[in-house]
Amino acid sequence: MRGHVVVFGELLLRLAAPGHELLLQSPGLTALFGGAEANVGVGLASFGHTVRAVSTLPDNAIGRACAGELRRHGVGTDGIRHTDGRMGLYFLSAGAVTRPSEVIYDRARSAFAEADPAGYDWQALLAGADWLHICGITPAVSPQAETAARAALQAARAIGLKVSFDCNYRQKLWTARGGNAPAILRGFIEQCDLLFANERDAALLLDLDVDKLEEAARFPAAAQALFDTCPRLQTIATTVRSHHGVDHQDLYGRLATRHSLHQSRTHALAGIVDRIGSGDAYAAGLLHGLIRGWEPDRALAFAIAAAALKHSIPGDALPLSEADILAAQDAGGLDVRR
């Protein structure tokens, strides 16, 4: 079974220092496109689903190149508006040894942030879709983006779409924007079917004190509190990461339904190439499994395998097929495939 998914959020130009250099240590930056929801869209399109991206881009060569990059990966761009304004940017310095990676945002007053929410015709944009995917970054960008995301969610609910929401709490963005982040985000999670959130997100959104619990009990307690607060919510998922070094980490996934708890195997990630977007790869993988009707354990195993593979690929998105992910799950060896 294949699905039709609409993703809504800001598209960004990523400017990264070469290799593991500090920003502008040498006079060059590598340019790529990304954005949380778009990354999910690329993953889902690569898995064979129909995906429409909805956003606003500047009407210039950069905006057109960004839309073209999405089309190259099979994502529909007829829902993207092009207007006057600037492209949102983020700058990345990849960490090494004991120095963590660092992201600097430059997205204030971008074309997306300033876009008139009334300019999105959600009845037309959501026509034929099965799922809407949005994330907590969008309401953090600007009040206009928050209003547009709320309208998308309400329209999706009115026509019976399922809603996937990734908390993606970004302290830097909320500090710059202001506003009551927990209250704003609660308005979104209360309307979703699938939520990507961990115990820290639940503590923020619901004012929980999970630190007093044993570590193994924190996610189940947070999930139960979220289920109690959000009657529509059916599935909660997160990843758990432990660090041996910047490029050597372990990763596994956890998933809760209203009736069960699930945990994936742990993936050892040594020699990480790029971890940006791994959470989006996880979201795309889990959505893929749910759309296909897989049981929770199978969907979770696929999602965490997708997230693990993302660490081997430069850039924000995961442009691999279902067959690629399944082959990695089979762990059939690392010899060259001929």
Which token pair is 309?
């593979």
Say yes or no to pLDDT of 221 above 90. Answer: yes
pLDDT digits (tens, 9 = 90+) for 271-324: 999 999 999 999 999 999 999 999 999 999 999 999 999 999 999 999 999 999
- Give the integer Cα–Cα distance in Å for 200 and 207: 10
What value does the mean pLDDT of the chain take?
94
The pLDDT of 191-198, averaged and rounded, is 96
Query: CA gyration radius for the chain?
Result: 19
pLDDT of 131 strictly over 60? yes
- Residue 178 has a pLDDT of 87
To 5 degrees, how large is the angle CA 306–CA 289–CA 258?
115
Q: What is the reported pLDDT for 333?
A: 58
Nearest-angstrom CA–CA distance, 101 and 121: 38
Domain boundaries, the chain: 4-11+37-55+117-327
Task: Among 2.40.50.140, 3.40.980.10, 3.40.50.300, 3.40.1190.20, name the CATH number for the domain at 4-11+37-55+117-327.
Answer: 3.40.1190.20
- The residues near 334 (Cβ < 8 Å, ≥ 6 apart) are none
CA distance 263 to 240: 10
CB-based contacts of 59: which residues, under 8 Å, 6+ apart? 82, 83, 84
For residue range 230-286, list pLDDT tens digits in order.
999 999 999 999 999 888 999 999 999 999 999 999 999 999 999 999 999 999 999
pLDDT at site 335: 65
Which residue type is seen at 215?
E
pLDDT at 332 exceeding the cut of 80: no
Is the pLDDT at 33 greater than 60? The verdict is yes
